[in-house]
Structure 1
Amino acid sequence: MSYKILAVNPGSTSTKIAVYEDEKELFSESIVHSDEELKKYQKVTDEFDMRKETILNSMNKHGVKEKDLSAVVGRGGQLVNIHAGGYLVTQDMKEKLVDASTIEHASNLGALIADAIAAPLGIPSYIYDAVGSDEMKDIAKITGMPEIVRESFCHVLNSKAMARKVAAKAGKSYQEMNFIVAHLGGGISVSAHERGRIVDAIPSDGGPFSPERSGSIPLNYIVDMCYSGKYCKREMTKKITGMGGIKAYLGTSSCLEVEKMIEAGNTQAKEIFEAEAYQIAKGIGELSPVLKGKIDAIILTGGVAHSKMLTDWITDYVSFIAPVVVMPGENELESLAAGALRILKGEEQADPYKK
C-alpha cells in the first residue's frame, strides 16, 4: 500500500507545499505572497483562508486530487512543552495556536490548514518535529537568572532529518549515533543530538550571527541601547531579527551577493563573512563538551550551507572535533512528509495534543 501525503510549510512571505507518494515527490511549489497581498491582513491567522485557497489551487494545477490524500502534515508552529516527533492535530492544538499567549508566527497556520484540508476527507492531520520540541536535559535549562529558564528553540525538523540521513548512510539508526548539527539559514541554530534526542541547543538569538540576525550580544550593551532613548522596542527587535547580522554590516542578507563582493575585492565583506564562519565554529565547539567528545559527525545544513566558501572555513576550524558532513538546503517539506509516512506505516506514533 502506498500513501499520498500533503506537506504544508507556511512562512512569513510564502507558503511552501509538496505532495509525496511514499518517499517520491510528486510536486513541490513555493507560493510567494506579496507585501501588497499581506498588508490586507492584521494578524497572521487572518491569512488562513487565503493560504488554504492557494494550496488547493496549486494541487489542482498539478493534477493532485484531495480525495487521493492519505494524510496532511503541517509545520508545527510555536507550541511549547511538547516532545519531538509527531502529534495529531486536535481541537486543543488549534485553540492553542490562535491563543494570544502563543507567539504569533506564520508557521502556526501549518496545523490549522492541515486540519482544515484533512478533516472533511476523514484522514489524519499531523504536525512533526515542531520548533518548540523539548528534549533538553534539565541542566541545560538553567540560566544565571532564576526568573528565566532556557527553552529548546532550534531548527528541529531539518536538523533531525539530516541526522537521520547521515545515520542511515553509516548503516545505523539515528538513535545509535551522536551529532552536532548547525542549521545555517536566515537564522542559525546549533544543536547537540545524543542517541536520537536534542539534549542541548543554541538558538538563533543565542549564538552565531546570521545573514539577518544579530546572534548573541553582550547583555550590558543591549541594556544600554534599550534605555538610551534612541530606540523603541520594535526597533530593537528589528536590530536583533531582520536587520542584524550580515545585513547590518553589508546591506544584504544574500550570501551569494556577499561572495560576489568578496570576489570583487571587498575586504570588509570577506572579514564579516569569515567572522560568521568563526562564530558558527565557536557554537559547534561550545556544544562539543555536552556529548563529552563522543561525536560521530558534525552536520552543516540549511540554505546557507550551499556556500562552499563558508562551509570550508567552518570545516577548517572544527574538523579536529569530528568528521564534517555538508548537507545544503532546508529539506523541510521532505522532512515533514517523511515523518508522516513513518506514522502511517506504524513505525512511529503520533500523540493527540492536549493543552
Structure 2
Amino acid sequence: MSAPVLVINSGSSSIKYQLVDGDTREASTSGLIERIGQSESVITHKTGEEKRVWNEHLDDHAAGLAAMVKACGEFGTPLSEAGLIAVAHRVVHGGERFVQPVVIDDEVEAVVADLIELAPLHNPANLEGIRVARRLFPDLPQVAVFDTAFHATMPERAHVYAVPTAWREEHGVRRYGFHGISHAYVSRRAAEMLGKDPKEVNVIVAHLGNGASITAVERGRSIDTSMGLTPLEGLVMGTRSGDIDPAIVFHMHRRTGASFDELDEALNKRSGMLALTGAIDMRGIVRAAAEGDQTCASALEIYCYRVRKYIGSYIAALGGADAVAFTAGVGENSAEVRARSLEPLAALGLRLDESANQAGGPVISTSDSRITAMVIPTDEEGEIAEQTAALLRS
C-alpha cells in the first residue's frame, strides 16, 4: 500500500473499519464490531479472503477500537506496522461549515459536537469514534469526511426552504442532504460505465438502504437531493417516515399530548417500513408480498412509488438524464424494488430489461433506452480513503 488509510465508521453500538489504499481504493483488511455495550459483542474481521467471527464483551467504543487494533495485529499486519498516513472518519452532518474533508483538531471536534442536534442519530456516534481514535492514534492525522459535503453545490432553488428569514439565517435551516460520499462515488462510476467524463453526463443515484436517498447529479455536481435538514425527509425508509405534512407533528402533539422529542423519536425510529409492515428487512417484505401478504404488498408499492416519483422529478430537474444508478443494500440486491420503481418510467425513455435486472446488472435497461439504468455497488470506504489521501497531499 502506498497510501494506507484506516477508515472508521462509528455507529451508536457498532464500528465498521477498513484498511484501504487511498491511491488504489483496495482494502486489505475490514471488520465490523456490533452490539457494543451489550452483554456480548460480535466481531467480524476479514483479512484477504480469511474471515473470522467471534463474541467478546465490549463496554464502549474505546474497547471496540482496542479490539480492532488487537484483531489487526493477530490476523494480519499490525496497524503500527501498516504505514498508515491517517485515520479517516465518516461524519454524517457537516452543516454549512464543512464542505470538504478536513483534518480534525479540537475546533473541528467542537463543531461536530454542535451539529449533533441536526443529526441526533448519527453525529454523537461519529464524534465518539473520533474522540477515541484521537487518543488511540495520537501521532496520526485524523480526517473527517462529511456525508453532507457533496451536496454543498446545490443551487439556492434546491436548498432553500420557504420559512422565516431568522430560521434560515440564525438557525441554519436549509436542505443539506446526506449519503453524499456514496452519491459522489456512484455518480462517477456511472459516468465511467457510460465511457464519459462525469462533467459530460447527468446521473440520478438511488441509494436505497435502511436509510435511503436519491440525488440528481448534473455534470458531476449535486443539484438536488431527497434528504433535507436532517436524514428524515424524502423516501420511505426502514424506520423513518420520509416526506410528511409537517403539520402532522403539531396535530399529534395536540391530540395525544406527546412531547416533540417523543414525536421526533417516532418519526425516526418507529415509522417507515417498520410502521407499515412490522419489519425492516426488504427481502422478507418482498417475499411476503409475493406470497399474498396484502400489508406487505401495499407497503412495497408505497415504497417504490416514492422512489419512482423522485426519479421522475429529477429527470425533470436535470432536463433529462443519461443514467439512473441503484446502490446500497436494497438498491443493489432487490430486483423487485428496481422493477417496480422503473417499469412505469418507460414513457420517459427508460425501459427495463427484465432478465438483466433479475441477474443484478450491471446494466438493467434495454439497449434502446434513452436513459441507462444500472446497479453499482457503493464504495464509501474507498471514497473516504481517496479523499483523505488527496487532502493530505494538497
Q: Same fold (TM over 0.5)?
A: yes
Which of 9, 31, 34 does residue 32 from structure 1 map onto?
A: 34
**Aligned twin of 2:141:** 124
**Aligned twin of 1:186:** 210
User: Does the 8 Å CA contact 1:126/1:340 hold for their aligned counterparts?
Assistant: yes
Please give the residue correspondences for 1:49-64 in structure 2 after superposition, counting only pairs within 5 Å. 49-64=62-77
Which of 330, 340, 356 does residue 304 from structure 1 map onto?
A: 330
Moved more, 10-19 or 188-197: 188-197
Q: Could you list the per-position Cα deviations for residues 235-260 of structure 1 after superposition, in whole angstroms to 9, with x for gaps in the alignment? A: 31232111111110211111111122
Runs (4+) off by over 6 Å = none
Gaps of at least 5 residues in structure 1 are 39-45, 350-355
- Corresponding letter in the other structure for 2:310: G
Moved more, 227-236 or 246-255: 227-236
User: Does the 8 Å CA contact 1:6/1:71 hold for their aligned counterparts?
Assistant: yes
Sort the Cα spacing of 1:23 and 1:101 in 2 relative to 1 into closer, same or farther, 3 A: closer
User: Does the 8 Å CA contact 2:69/2:78 hold for their aligned counterparts?
Assistant: no
Q: Could you say which structure has the greater relative contact order, defined with CA pairs below 8 angstroms and 6 or more residues apart? A: 1
Gaps of at least 5 residues in structure 2 are 41-58, 350-370
Q: Give SS of 1:36's match.
A: coil
**Aligned twin of 1:229:** 256
Give how far 1:55 is off: 2.8
**Aligned twin of 1:140:** 158
Give how far 1:34 is off: 4.3
Q: Give SS of 1:213's match.
A: coil
- Corresponding letter in the other structure for 2:274: K
Give how far 1:118 is off: 4.4
- Corresponding letter in the other structure for 1:331: D
User: Does the 8 Å CA contact 2:242/2:272 hold for their aligned counterparts?
Assistant: yes
Give how far 1:225 is off: 0.9
Q: Distance in 1 between matches of 2:181 and 2:258?
A: 35
Q: Distance in 1 between matches of 2:201 and 2:132?
A: 35
**Aligned twin of 1:239:** 266
Q: Give SS of 2:91's match.
A: coil
Q: Distance in 1 between matches of 2:64 and 2:112?
A: 16
Give how far 1:112 is off: 3.6
Q: Distance in 1 between matches of 2:254 and 2:77?
A: 55
User: Does the 8 Å CA contact 1:135/1:152 hold for their aligned counterparts?
Assistant: no
Q: Distance in 2 between matches of 1:96 and 1:159?
A: 24
- Corresponding letter in the other structure for 1:190: I
- Aligned pair 1:75/2:78, yes or no? no
TM value normalised by structure 1: 0.84
**Aligned twin of 1:43:** none
**Aligned twin of 1:332:** 380
User: Does the 8 Å CA contact 1:209/1:245 hold for their aligned counterparts?
Assistant: yes
- Corresponding letter in the other structure for 1:325: M
**Aligned twin of 1:165:** 189
**Aligned twin of 1:108:** 127
Q: Distance in 1 between matches of 2:129 and 2:192?
A: 28
Q: Could you list the per-position Cα deviations for residues 133-189 of structure 1 after superposition, in whole angstroms to 9, with x for gaps in the alignment? A: 522212222222223542212210111111121122233333333211121111221
**Aligned twin of 1:268:** 295
- Aligned alpha-carbon RMSD (Å): 2.6
User: Does the 8 Å CA contact 2:93/2:115 hold for their aligned counterparts?
Assistant: no
- Corresponding letter in the other structure for 2:238: P
TM value normalised by structure 2: 0.77
Q: Distance in 2 between matches of 1:279 and 1:109?
A: 34
Q: Could you list the per-position Cα deviations for residues 101-141 of structure 1 after superposition, in whole angstroms to 9, with x for gaps in the alignment? A: 65443123354445445432xx4322224335522212222
Q: Could you list the per-position Cα deviations for residues 173-220 of structure 1 after superposition, in whole angstroms to 9, with x for gaps in the alignment? A: 333332111211112211121222212211042222112111111233
Q: Distance in 2 between matches of 1:100 and 1:299?
A: 30
Q: Give SS of 1:238's match.
A: helix
Q: Distance in 2 between matches of 1:158 and 1:182?
A: 10
User: Does the 8 Å CA contact 1:77/1:97 hold for their aligned counterparts?
Assistant: no
- Corresponding letter in the other structure for 2:326: L
User: Does the 8 Å CA contact 1:75/1:110 hold for their aligned counterparts?
Assistant: no
Q: Give SS of 1:279's match.
A: helix
- Corresponding letter in the other structure for 1:54: A
Q: Give SS of 1:228's match.
A: helix
